[in-house]
Amino acid sequence: MVKVPFACGECNRILDDGISQCNHCPNAPVTTDWQGFVVILHPSRSEIAKRLNVSAPGNYALKVNIR
């Protein structure tokens, strides 16, 4: 069985294993219900980073479902 990591409901950052709260958005909800995976290395040169409103390198979910 594969363990799905949490994603932040506010910034879409995919959290490292064992972390259940986003360091960048401490009050935001987190969930394992997310889709798509993108790695942003150079946000200033990335069209996807601009569309996701990402300013820091990292792993991000394309869509996060918060209920």
Please answer whether residues 54 and 45 qualify as being in contact, where contact means their C-beta atoms are separated by less than 8 angstroms: no
Residues 6+ apart with CB under 8 A from 18: none
Q: How far apart are CA 38 and CA 4, in angstroms?
A: 15
Express the helix, strand and coil content of the chain in percent, nearest 5 each: 15, 25, 65
Query: What tens digit of pLDDT does each residue of 17-52 get?
Result: 888 899 999 999 999 999 999 999 999 999 999 998
State the pTM of this model. Answer: 0.88
SS3 5: coil
Confidence class for position 67, pLDDT limits 50, 70, 90: confident
Which comes out higher in pLDDT, residue 41 or 1? 41
* Residue-level pLDDT at 18: 84
Residue 2 has pLDDT above 80, yes or no: no
Please answer whether residues 9 and 28 qualify as being in contact, where contact means their C-beta atoms are separated by less than 8 angstroms: yes
Domains of the chain: 7-64 (2.20.28.90)
